Amino acid sequence: MISRIWHGWTSLENAEAYESLLKSEIFNGIENRQIVGYKGIHLFRRTTTGDEVEFITIMWFDSLEAIRAFAGEDYELAVVPPKARALLSRFDARSQHYEVRAELKV
């Protein structure tokens, strides 16, 4: 299993709209692509110092081939649709990928 981690930041004013866009449109669009080896996504959110809100997405894939099916040959390149870019103040240009080495279920 491989996790794909990405960070994006919005203003406080755009945070609700961005989260809503992710949940109602972007995540559904990813799911509808039915990528073989895609296992799901988690969304994290926190208000940082000042007036910024940080979002982290962690996606789960079986393999680098599955990640390439999602992101393209340059699989580290961030996948940020235009509607999302309009709401973000900044974001990681590239995603990080990690092998999942252990998992504890409680």
Of the candidates 26, 30, 33, 34, the residue with the CA atom closest to the CA atom of residue 8: 26
- Amino acid identity, position 51: D
Of 38, 26, 106, 32, nearest in space to 66 by CA = 38
Looking at residue 106, what is its pLDDT? 86
- 72 in the Ramachandran plot: left (φ > 0), alpha (ψ -120 to 50) or beta? left
**pTM reported for the whole predicted model:** 0.92
Q: Which domains does the chain have, with CATH numbers?
A: 2-99 (3.30.70.100)
pLDDT tens for 29-53 read: 999 999 999 999 999 999 987 889 9
Spans in the chain with pLDDT lower than 50: none
- Please give the pLDDT value at position 51: 87
